[in-house]
Chain A
Amino acid sequence: MTITETRPEAAMPPPPAGPVPAATPEGWFATADHKRLGLLYLGAALLFLLVGGILGMVLRTELLSEGSGIAGDEYGRLFSMHVTVSTMLFLAPAWVGIASYVVPLQIGSGRLAFPRLHAFSFWLFLLGGGLLLTSYVVGPPRGLGLVSSVPTPAGKGGGDTATSLMIVSLALVAVAALLAAADLAVTVLKLRTPGLTLRRLPMLSWAILTSSLVTVLATPVFLAGLALFYMDQRFGGALFAAATLGSRSVWRHTLWLYGRPDVYLLLLPGLGAGCDIVATHARRPLVSPAAGRAAIVAFAFLSLGAWASGSGVGDAILLPTYSPLTALVVLPVGVLVLLWLATMAAGHRHLHTALLFVAGFVLLAAFGALNAAIAAAAKVDGTAWTTGHLHVVAFGAPTLLLLAAIVHWAPKLFGRELAPGAARIGFLGVFGGFFLMGLGSYLLGYDGAPSRTSDFDFSSDASTFSTLSTLGAVVLLLGLLAFVAEMIRAARSLAPPGPADPYQGLTLEWATSSPPPPHSFDSVPEVRSAHPLLDLRLAAEQGAPSAGGER
Chain B
Amino acid sequence: MLNLVSKLLFTLSALGAVSAVAYGLAVDERSGVAIFLFLALAAAVAGAATCGSAVPDLAPVIPDDAPPPQRRASTVGAAPRGSIWPLVAAGALTALAVGAAIGPALVGVGAVAVVAATGGWFAKVWSEDPTWIPKVRERVSARLLVPVGLPVATFLLAAFIAISVSRLLLAISKDLAAVVAIVVGVTILSVCSWVAARPRLRPSVLASVGALAAVSILGAGIAGAVAGERNFEAHEGGEHGDGVVHLVAKETSFNEKQVTAVSGEKVHIEFENRDDVYHNFAVYKGEGSAAKPVFNGEGFSGEDERTYEFTAPPPGRYVFVCDFHANMTGEFVSVAG
The answer to whether A and B interact is: yes
* Contacts A15-B74, A116-B86, A213-B9 given; does A312 touch B39 at CB 8 Å: no
Instruction: Determine whether the beta carbon of A127 is less than 8 Å from that of B94.
Output: yes
**Of A198, A297, A528, A544, the contact of B57 (CB 8 Å cutoff):** A198
Q: Give which listed residue, A1, A301, A536, contacts B63 with CB less than 8 A.
A: A1
User: Could you tell me how many residues of chain A have their Cβ less than 8 Å away from some Cβ of chain B?
Assistant: 86
How near does chain A come to B184, taking the closest CB pair, in angstroms?
23
Beta-carbon contact of B31 and A311 below 8 Å: yes
CA distance A167 to B55 in the complex (A): 37
CA distance A193 to B36 in the complex (A): 36
A545 touches B67 (CB 8 A): yes
**Would you list 28 pairs from A and B whose C-beta atoms are within 8 A, ordered by A residue?**
A1-B66, A2-B63, A116-B85, A117-B86, A119-B87, A120-B90, A131-B97, A161-B226, A164-B101, A168-B97, A168-B101, A171-B97, A194-B60, A195-B60, A216-B46, A217-B39, A217-B42, A308-B35, A312-B27, A518-B79, A519-B79, A523-B73, A524-B71, A525-B72, A526-B72, A536-B70, A539-B69, A546-B69
From known contacts A169-B97, A209-B5, A526-B72, infer whether A9 and B87 are also in contact, taking CB-CB under 8 Å. no
**Given A297-B8, A301-B15, A111 and B79 touching (CB < 8 A)?**
yes
Known A-B contacts A32-B82, A33-B82; A519 and B74 likewise in contact (beta carbons under 8 Å): yes
Instruction: Write out the residue numbers on chain A whose beta carbons fall within 8 Å of the beta carbon of B57.
Output: 197-198
A127, chain B: closest CB distance, angstroms? 4
Chain B residues near A311 (CB-CB < 8 A): 23, 31-32, 35
Q: Which residues B15-66 have CB closer than 8 A to chain A? A: 15, 19, 23, 26-27, 31-32, 35-36, 39, 42-43, 46, 50, 55, 57-63, 66
Asked if B234 is at the interface (CB within 8 A of a chain A CB), the reply is no
Q: Out of A1, A9, A124, A190, which one reaches B94, CB within 8 Å? A: A124
B12 contacts the other chain (Cβ, under 8 Å)? yes
Asked if A108 lies at the interface with its beta carbon under 8 angstroms from chain B, I say: yes
A378 within 8 A of B: no
Interface flag for B98 (CB, 8 Å): yes
A195 CB to nearest B CB, Å: 6
Complex partner residue of A123 from B23, B35, B59, B90, CB under 8 angstroms: B90
In the complex the two chains form, is A167's CB within 8 Å of B39's CB? no
- From A109, A197, A539, B76 is in contact (CB under 8 Å) with A109
Task: Say yes or no: B83 contacts A230, CB within 8 Å.
Answer: no
Indicate if the CB atoms of B71 and A523 lie closer than 8 Å. yes
With known contacts A127-B90, A539-B69, A9–B226 Cβ distance under 8 A: no
B19 to nearest A CB, angstroms? 7
A120 to B83, CA, bound (A): 10
Tell me how far the C-beta of A19 lies from the nearest C-beta in chain B, rounded to whole angstroms.
14
What separation, in Å, do the CA atoms of A543 and B8 have in the docked complex? Answer: 39
6 new A-B contacts at CB < 8 Å, known A165-B101, A171-B97: A26-B84, A111-B80, A210-B8, A213-B5, A301-B12, A545-B66
- Cα–Cα distance between A2 and B64 once the two chains are bound (Å): 11
Q: Does B111 contact A (CB under 8 A)?
A: no
- Nearest A-chain residue to B70, judged by Cβ: A526
In the complex, per-residue mask of A111-138: 1 if CB is within 8 Å of any chain B CB, else 0: 1100111011011101110010000001
Which residues in B have their C-beta under 8 angstroms from that of A84? Answer: none
Distance in Å: Cβ of B119 to nearest Cβ of chain A: 15
Q: Mark A513-540, 1 if CB is under 8 A from B, else 0.
A: 0000011111111101000100110011
Please indicate the chain B residues that have their CB under 8 angstroms from the CB of A338 in the complex: none
Which residue of B12, B60, B73 is within 8 Å of A2 (Cβ)?
B60
Contact A128 B79 (CB under 8 A): no
Residues of B within 8 A of A301 (CB): 12, 15
B86 lies within 8 A of A119 (CB): yes
User: What B residues does A217 contact at CB under 8 A?
Assistant: 39, 42-43, 46
Contact partner of B39 among A172, A308, A540, A548, CB < 8 A?
A308
Q: Are A193 and B97 in contact (CB under 8 A)?
A: no
Chain B contacts for A167, CB-based, 8 A = 101
Enumerate chain A residues within 8 angstroms of B50, measured Cβ to Cβ: 189
Q: Which residues of A contact B74 (CB under 8 A)?
A: 15, 110, 519, 521-524
**Is there contact, CB below 8 Å, between A193 and B75?**
yes
Query: Within the assembled complex, what's the spacing in Å between the Cα atoms of A404 and B273?
Result: 65
- Contact check, A2 vs B100: say whether CB atoms are below 8 A apart: no
Asked if A503 CB lies within 8 Å of chain B CBs, one says no
Contacts of A345 in B (CB 8 A): none
Cα A180 to Cα B189 in complex, Å, equals 43
Number of A-B contacts (CB under 8 A): 205
Across the interface, name the chain A residue whose C-beta is closest to B99.
Answer: A168
Whether A511 sits at the interface, judged by CB under 8 Å, is yes
Query: Contact mask A7-31 → B, CB, 8 Å, 1/0?
Result: 0010010111000000000110111
Q: Which residues of B contact A216 (CB under 8 A)?
A: 46
Q: Say yes or no: A528 contacts B69, CB within 8 Å.
A: yes
- Chain A, residue nearest B211 (CB): A29
Contact B91 A2 (CB under 8 A): no
- How far, in Å, is A129 (CB) from chain B's closest CB? 11
Task: Say whether, besides A29-B84, A311-B32, A543-B68, A15 and B63 are in contact (CB < 8 Å).
Answer: no
A164 vs B79: C-alpha distance when bound (angstroms): 40
B102 lies within 8 A of chain A by Cβ? yes
Q: How far is the CA of A3 from the CA of B59 in the complex (A)?
A: 10
Structural contact, A168 and B79, CB atoms closer than 8 A? no
CB distance A548 to B82 under 8 Å? Answer: no
Given contacts A9-B77, A308-B35, contact A198 B71 (CB under 8 A): no
Are B82's CB and A27's CB within 8 A?
Answer: yes
- B29 to A, closest residue via Cβ: A311
For residues 182 through 208 of chain A, which have their beta carbon under 8 Å from a beta carbon of chain B?
A: 189-190, 193-195, 197-200
A260 at the interface (CB under 8 A from B): no
Residues of chain A in range 436-477 having any CB-CB distance to chain B below 8 Å? none
A165-B101, A526-B69 given; A312·B23 CB < 8 A: yes
Q: Least Cβ distance of B62 to chain A in Å?
A: 6
- Residues of B contacting A127 in the complex (Cβ-Cβ under 8 angstroms): 90-91, 94
Contacts of B84 in A (CB 8 A): 26, 29-30
**List of A residues within 8 angstroms of B69 by Cβ:** 525-526, 528, 532, 535-536, 539, 545-546
A551: interface (CB < 8 Å): yes
Q: Does B4 sit at the interface, judged by CB under 8 A?
A: yes
Contacts of A193 in B (CB 8 A): 75
Is A423's beta carbon under 8 Å from chain B? no
Q: Contact: A111 with B72, CB < 8 Å?
A: no
Question: Smallest CB–CB gap between A37 and chain B, Å?
Answer: 10
Give B159-204 interface residues, CB cut-off 8 Å to A. Answer: 204
Asked if B255 is at the interface of the complex by the 8 Å CB criterion, the answer is no
Check if A91 is an interface residue, CB within 8 A of chain B. no
A393 at the interface (CB under 8 A from B): no
A304 at interface, CB cutoff 8 A: yes
CB pair A304–B12 under 8 Å, yes or no, is yes
B81 within 8 Å of A (CB atoms): yes
Q: Which residues of A contact B156 (CB under 8 A)?
A: none
Chain B residues positioned under 8 Å from A128 (CB to CB): 94, 97
| CB within 8 Å for A2 and B76 given contacts A123-B86, A189-B5 | no
